[in-house]
Amino acid sequence: MDYLAIIAVVERGKAQGLVEKAKEAGLLGGTILYGRGTGVFEAPKLLNLHIESSKEVILIVSPRDAYRPIYDVLVEAGKFHEPGKGIIFTLPADNVLGLSEPAGREKHK
């Protein structure tokens, strides 16, 4: 089967809500990782201490023929068209193992 990875980077605290919205569009599951931004602009300071920008990274692997509704709902709910709301992109996912097939969906060999 042909898969795509959907990767979204958002401000901390936003990922769970986005994943819940994506489940309404057919997402079966995903992974949320935590990280910090390392952009080209200097981190803001408070009392001369750097304030790190906390991020969440949503990782989703989806069959290529089923990814679009999930991607579209993430874009809409995450407001990725607005500046500063995060980044979302897809990548081909090769050699995927360990995913369960949804009920009623045929396995392709």
The per-residue pLDDT for range 35-88, each reduced to its tens digit, is 887 765 555 666 666 556 789 999 999 999 999 999 999 999 999 999 989 999
What is the pLDDT, as a whole number, of residue 55? 92
Give first-to-last CA distance, the chain, whole Å.
7
Distance CA 92, CA 62 (A): 10
Inter-helix orientation angle 67-78/15-24, to 10°: 140
Q: Is the pTM of the predicted complex or chain greater than 0.95?
A: no
Taking 60 as the threshold, does the pLDDT of residue 105 lie above it? no
What is the pLDDT, as a whole number, of residue 47? 66
Domain boundaries, position 75: 3-40+50-93
Q: What is the CATH number of the domain that holds 62?
A: 3.30.70.120
- Residue 17 DSSP label: H
Domain-located, residue 45: no
